[in-house]
A and B are shown apart, each in its own frame.
Chain A
Amino acid sequence: MVAAMGRAAAEEGDVEFVDYDQDDEDAMEEDGRAARALPVPRIVSPAVVRTRGRFAGRSPSVLTSSHYRFDSITNDGDHGPGPQRSIEGWTILVSGIKEDAEEDDFYNAFSEFGHVKDLHLNLERRTGYAKGYALIEYESFEEAQAAIRAMNGSQLLTKTIYVDWAFSRGPIQNFKSTRPSRPRSRTPPRRLAALRP
């Protein structure tokens, strides 16, 4: 099920909002940036955004994503939008959870829709109380879908909870454009070389 997919084609899309800095040679040498895994997209238009922090403008965009393969899980034969299958089942997110909720509350409520294979009710590190979300895994799509339909917007421990799929097959549609309004800087030569067939 896990396939190291040839990401080259998909990554071309990323290039849309990735803007590579060329002024980062210092940072590269001092921090060994050459081993960094994630290129940082410049998604901020400096004109409208207030930036703070010592690291601002030094985003280490050393490695292009086309150099690396990121493993992902593929859906068999189905390429439309919709929820993405996890390696051993279907994962849903419950949000809006009350801080004093406990695992039993969820296990019982969500077992009505099928066998709960895995349940993470994560705690806030500072307080030790529930952070406000849970992730639940079912074996089948139908069980997960039934849980979403029945429980989304329902009351659990006097609080309204929201239930939805955790993973999607593709990018979020209509997400706010993150293209910078200023002209993009020229693609570095090594980058350009990588893009050429």
Chain B
Amino acid sequence: MAAAGGENSGAGEGEFYLRYYVGHKGKFGHEFLEFEFRPDGKLRYANNSNYKNDTMIRKEVFVSPSVLREARRIIQESDIMKEDDSNWPEPDRIGRQELEIVMGNEHISFTTSKIGSLVDVQSSKDPEGLRIFYYLVQDLKCFVFSLINLHFKIKPIQS
């Protein structure tokens, strides 16, 4: 296991925690998607859509240090840790996103509304920062969906 990696010292060591949540409350109840990487490698994933059926998908698996390292690299390269959510749209009735990351001695805990497209990003008060968030979230979701899909052979439902 130790063989793989070490190529990116900035993303390599120290504390790490990642949690992402997106959801809203509507006529189908509280529908959301949430996942987290814990420092010991536990990846947890929860997906609730009450549409048609009433089941919540909850999966967990331990990922290898290499997978954790890759998550750190994606975050590191996004520069999200230098951003601030103070000028981002507030969560509203349409929905809420939360991104919480601990990496090294930095801790961010951001929240904003759902972002439909780059048009929303462009028209916001902090398009540069929000764009970083917008793309990072998609890249992280893509990574987690692949991990969950390959491991459990289930397809996530988009909240």
Contact = CB atoms under 8 A, between A and B. Distances in A.
Interface in B73-104: 73-74, 84-86, 91, 96, 98, 100, 102
A37 interface: yes
B4 A162 contact: yes
Interface string B94-129: 001010101001111111000000000000000000
Contacts, number: 215
Q: Please provide the 9 A-B residue pairs with the shortest distance between their CB atoms, ordered closest to farther.
A: A37-B46, A164-B4, A171-B40, A164-B66, A70-B60, A53-B109, A162-B4, A55-B111, A35-B30
A124 to B, nearest CB: 6
B135 A38 contact: no
Interface string A77-96: 00000011011100101011
A95 B70 contact: yes
Interface of B: 1, 3-5, 7, 13-15, 17, 19, 21, 25, 29-30, 32, 34-36, 38-42, 44, 46, 48, 56, 58-70, 73-74, 84-86, 91, 96, 98, 100, 102, 105-111, 135, 138-139, 142-143, 146-147, 149-153
A51 interface: yes
B4 A168 contact: no
Nearest to B106: A50
Contact of A122 (B19, B110, B142): B142
A49 B60 CA distance: 28
Contacts of A59: 100, 109
A85 to B, nearest CB: 9
Contact of A164 (B3, B86, B100, B151): B3
Question: Binding site of B, secondary structure by majority: helix, strand, loop or mixed?
Answer: mixed
Interface in A1-50: 2, 17, 31-32, 35-38, 40-41, 43-44, 48-50
B58 to A, nearest CB: 4
Residue from A35, A120, A171, A178 with most neighbouring chain B CB atoms (10 Å): A35
Interface stretch (A105-113, A126-134, A181-189): A126-134
A167 to B, nearest CB: 5
A137 interface: yes
B150 A137 contact: yes
A176 B39 contact: yes
A156 interface: no
Contact of A176 (B14, B142, B153): B14
A57 B109 contact: yes
A132 B73 contact: yes
A131 B139 contact: yes
30 contacts: A31-B25, A31-B96, A32-B25, A35-B30, A37-B34, A37-B44, A37-B48, A38-B34, A40-B36, A50-B106, A52-B107, A54-B111, A56-B107, A68-B58, A72-B59, A93-B70, A95-B5, A95-B7, A95-B69, A120-B150, A125-B138, A131-B143, A137-B150, A152-B4, A166-B63, A167-B64, A168-B62, A172-B40, A178-B15, A178-B17
